[in-house]
A and B are shown apart, each in its own frame.
Chain A
Amino acid sequence: MVARATLPGFGLTLGLTLAYLGVIVWLPLLALAAKTAGLGADGFLAAVASPRTVAAFRVSFGIALIAAAFDAALGLLVAWVLVRYRFPGRRFLDALIDLPFALPTAVAGITLASLYADTGWIGGLLEPLGLQVAFTPYGIFVALVFVGFPFVVRTVQPMLLDLEADVEEVALTLGASRFQIYRRVILPALLPGLLAGTALAFARAVGEYGSVIFIAGNMPGVSEIVPLLIVIKLEGFDYAGAAAIAVVMLAASLAILLVINALQAWVRHIHGDG
């Protein structure tokens, strides 16, 4: 523990850090655990396995998964173009990628709902095609694609930068076709970053609330997401029921987090640094 010359402030800063985390993070999470434990096994199952809750889980996780996969495809394209090609406005577009991180979710929510409503700029174009987006599960998909968009770009970008053009040239001189280079050289090298980014987008999408509720329509069993169900239970003072669902959500988030950590360790391994 003691290094060469021991800098001061260890006890003070560690103490303050732990105290702060204790009050802000630990104590409230403990209250959540206690509230759920108070339900007992039967009460917990009744709260979590009701048809409405199961349907909400299916909507949240199902659409988040599809949206994350879509983000992976879009993100790969955008990262590729931003890294490999030079064109006017590239830096502006690069900065724009983070917009979904910076734009408050309520702003994104009302904006997407208005854009995709059948009178909106985009909804008006889709409506004649018979495609209704706003106030249907498609609306949830659009919102989740938006909030998860930057993750894949930002994980794939540095990996693409690292990928030496030499490797591709060697493959080219060895007689590989373009398609073979994409499939055998580039895609495997990017895979860990692509998966990590997709998992991050998925994790974010599962818990997302603000940008979804305006566009979702919020029909129980059809377009009701889990976070909204928690809010509805809280508003009905069913705190224990809300806590039970929250515990399941938290467990799922932690599981996704473990996967993400493993993927990021893989990314670092390929990067060759710590």
Chain B
Amino acid sequence: MATAEQQRQQQGTTRTSIAGTAGRWLLIGAMLAVLGVFLLLPLVFVFAQALDRGIIDYVAALGTPDTIAAIRLTLLIAAIAVPLNAAFGLCAAWCITKFEFRGKSILLSLIDLPFSVSPVISGMIYVLLFGLQGWFGPFLAAHGIKIIFAVPGLVLATVFVTLPFVARQLIPLMQQQGRTEEESALILGATGWQIFRRVTLPNVKWALLYGVLLCNARAMGEFGAVSVVSGHIRGLTNTMPLQIEILYNEYNAPAAFGVASLLAMLAVLTLAAKTLLEWRFAGELGAQKRLH
């Protein structure tokens, strides 16, 4: 009679014991086909289309004034929205993980809320607030301040959709780390700012970077929310994703894919950096991988 140990040896590795070798390669092949068609092909297609007419046309398409203005605007919006949400994330994580208070779980779900709102709605709520027919519309018009169909509206919509990224990365990690180290520093006479700079920040730096990377990718790529508040004024309120839409609708596919290839490159770089952080600093990123 064979013992369980002998059986295990006969079956090869334990992990593959239930599916046979043929089934195994069938499953691997099926997965490769799925990933190839649904993920890899679209990614390759973006670059193939962008470079369809050669590198010179590619660079020329990116060098038009409207496209350059769109790139600049996208960088500007990310440069405002990402630091704001990083600061917010640190702030929220500090009060949620270092103190006990009532209503914490409500606060947590409020922070998560933007993830479950359709991008279009994320943009429109600011139109209802600051648009001409909105609450502050008449006041803003009287004082000559433009928020909707202008850069401030684009920034607000971007801040809304990217609000949870850093906070959601930091909160589980800081919860897990507890507050013993900070309390020791306090007893040793450190001020609040020193504790934050010297103890907390070094403990969460990789998670912070991880959150910032994801936040930035979304901020630069957001389409629905900014589309609603933009007004699509060329050279003024068109971000890169909006510029892609305009070029594509003008049947200028090579230029549209040219701009798209820049954002696709950003996506690939973000994924690479994210993967690197996950391999290298898995333990310092917090309990679970985030799902957004």
A residues whose Cβ falls under 8 Å from a Cβ of B: 1, 3-5, 7-10, 13-14, 16-18, 20-21, 24-25, 27-29, 31-32, 34-35, 74, 77-78, 80-82, 84-85, 87, 91, 93-112, 114-115, 121-122, 145-146, 149-151, 154-155, 158, 165, 168-169, 172-173, 178, 181-182, 200, 203, 206-210, 214, 226-228, 230-231, 234, 237, 239, 242-243, 246, 249-250, 253-254, 256-257
Is the Cβ of A103 less than 8 Å from the Cβ of B267? yes
Is the Cβ of B125 less than 8 Å from the Cβ of A111? no
B-side interface size class: 35 or more
Is the Cβ of B260 less than 8 Å from the Cβ of A249? no
Asked if B16 CB lies within 8 Å of chain A CBs, one says yes
Q: What are 23 A-B pairs at a CB distance below 8 A?
A: A3-B179, A8-B192, A9-B98, A9-B192, A14-B101, A21-B107, A32-B128, A77-B27, A78-B34, A95-B275, A103-B221, A103-B263, A104-B223, A108-B42, A145-B38, A149-B38, A150-B291, A165-B14, A169-B8, A209-B120, A210-B241, A230-B118, A239-B131
Bound CA–CA A122/B38 (angstroms): 11
Total CB contacts across the A-B interface at under 8 A: 291
Q: Which residues of A contact B245 (CB under 8 A)?
A: 106, 110, 214
Asked if B270 CB lies within 8 Å of chain A CBs, one says yes
Bound CA–CA A84/B17 (angstroms): 10
Bound CA–CA A219/B21 (angstroms): 48
Is the Cβ of B37 less than 8 Å from the Cβ of A122? yes
11 additional A-B pairs beyond A8-B195, A32-B124, beta carbons within 8 Å, are A5-B183, A7-B179, A17-B95, A21-B110, A34-B135, A97-B39, A102-B267, A107-B264, A110-B244, A111-B49, A172-B7
Nearest neighbor of A149 in chain B, beta-carbon distance: B38
Using A98-B271, A154-B291 as known contacts, say yes or no to A106 and B128 having CB atoms under 8 A apart. Answer: no
Is the Cβ of A104 less than 8 Å from the Cβ of B263? yes
Q: How far is the CB of B6 from chain A (nearest CB, A)?
A: 11
Q: Which of B8, B120, B222 contacts A104 (CB 8 A)?
A: B222
Is the Cβ of A111 less than 8 Å from the Cβ of B271? no
Is the Cβ of B14 less than 8 Å from the Cβ of A93? no
- Give chain B interface residues in 126-181, CB to chain A under 8 Å: 126-129, 131, 133-135, 156, 159-160, 163, 179
Q: Which residues of B contact A96 (CB under 8 A)?
A: 35, 39-40, 271
Nearest neighbor of A245 in chain B, beta-carbon distance: B121
Using A8-B191, A8-B192 as known contacts, say yes or no to A105 and B292 having CB atoms under 8 A apart. Answer: no
Q: Which residues of A contact B101 (CB under 8 A)?
A: 1, 10, 14
Q: Which residues of A contact B156 (CB under 8 A)?
A: 24
Q: Which residues of B contact A200 (CB under 8 A)?
A: 291
Bound CA–CA A87/B127 (angstroms): 51
Q: Which residues of B contact A102 (CB under 8 A)?
A: 217, 221, 267-268, 270-271, 274
Contact segment of B53-61, B86-94, B201-209: B86-94
Bound CA–CA A231/B242 (angstroms): 14
Is the Cβ of B91 less than 8 Å from the Cβ of A17? yes
Chain B CB within 10 A, most for which of A4, A101, A239: A101
Is the Cβ of A227 less than 8 Å from the Cβ of B183? no
Asked if B257 CB lies within 8 Å of chain A CBs, one says yes
Asked if B113 CB lies within 8 Å of chain A CBs, one says yes
B residues whose Cβ falls under 8 Å from a Cβ of A: 4, 7-8, 14-19, 24, 27-28, 30-32, 34-35, 37-43, 45-46, 49, 88, 91-92, 94-96, 98-101, 107, 110-111, 113-114, 116-121, 124-129, 131, 133-135, 156, 159-160, 163, 179, 182-183, 186-187, 191-192, 195-196, 214, 217, 220-224, 227-228, 240-242, 244-245, 248, 253, 256-257, 260, 263-264, 267-268, 270-272, 274-275, 288-289, 291-292
Nearest neighbor of B2 in chain A, beta-carbon distance: A173
Q: How far is the CB of B269 from chain A (nearest CB, A)?
A: 9
Q: How far is the CB of B65 from chain A (nearest CB, A)?
A: 20
Q: How far is the CB of A9 from chain B (nearest CB, A)?
A: 5
Is the Cβ of B256 less than 8 Å from the Cβ of A110? yes
Nearest neighbor of B156 in chain A, beta-carbon distance: A24
Q: How far is the CB of B197 from chain A (nearest CB, A)?
A: 12
Is the Cβ of A169 less than 8 Å from the Cβ of B34? no
Using A146-B42, A173-B7, A253-B116 as known contacts, say yes or no to A13 and B244 having CB atoms under 8 A apart. Answer: no
Is the Cβ of A10 less than 8 Å from the Cβ of B99? yes
Q: How far is the CB of A235 from chain B (nearest CB, A)?
A: 9
Chain A CB within 10 A, most for which of B101, B160, B244, B272: B244
Is the Cβ of A209 less than 8 Å from the Cβ of B263? no
Q: Which residues of B contact A7 (CB under 8 A)?
A: 98-99, 179, 182-183, 186, 192, 195
Is the Cβ of A31 less than 8 Å from the Cβ of B30? no
Q: Which residues of A contact B187 (CB under 8 A)?
A: 5
Q: Which residues of B contact A256 (CB under 8 A)?
A: 116
Nearest neighbor of B190 in chain A, beta-carbon distance: A8
Is the Cβ of A107 less than 8 Å from the Cβ of B34? no
